[in-house]
Structure formats: C-alpha cells, structure tokens
Amino acid sequence: MKKKVFSYIGFAKKSGNLAVGAGTCTLPAVARKTKLILIAADTAEGTIDKISGFAKKENIKFRVYGHAEELSKACGMPVRNIFGITDAGLADAIIKEIDLEKEV
C-alpha cells in the first residue's frame, strides 16, 4: 500500500500539484488551493500540532503518515516533513490508501 501513496506523491510533484515545507504549505495563496497536508510521522510533536491545527482551522484534510526521508525520496526532494497536495483527485486517492492501510 505504501508504494501507491509514494507513487501518488511522485505524480503530484511531476504534475505541479505538490507544495513542500511547512512555510510553503501555510502561505495563504497555497493554503487556499491545498486539498491535503501530509505530515511525516517523525516530525516534532510541536510542529505536528501547529500544522494539524492550521489544517483544521483552514478546513484542509491532513494525515500524519510515513517518515520524512521516504516521503521526500518519493518526490525527489531533500528531506522535508510537510507536503501539500493541491489536486483534489490525488488528495482523495492518497487519503483512501492511507486510511485503508491503517484499517489493516
């Protein structure tokens, strides 16, 4: 299942539907377009709280998932902890895969 999530993240990067980094994902112009925020599970607790609080306030779906190194590798970026998906279809597909994985 993880392979699908990583494939979707790579596709989001290639199609220009990926914002990377906490600063970028919380910019007002980007936040209005963001459909999903992925937070790496190995992110500092304070950062997880800050970003998840921001997502709730802005009514953006979010998931805590994977590790920063593997998420970053999936999109060919240096290690980052926060990823924003701006395409609704990709966001829904990623959420579906993550939620299915957590059910198992």
pLDDT tens per residue across span 32-41: 999 999 999 9
What span, in angstroms and rounded, lies between the C-alpha atoms of 86 and 35?
5
For residue 96, the domain's CATH number is 3.30.1330.30
Q: How many domains, the chain?
A: 1
CA angle 18, 81, 89 (to 5 degrees): 30
pTM (predicted TM-score):
0.93
Range of the domain at 38: 2-103
Q: What is the pLDDT of residue 1?
A: 53
Residues in the chain, pLDDT under 50:
none
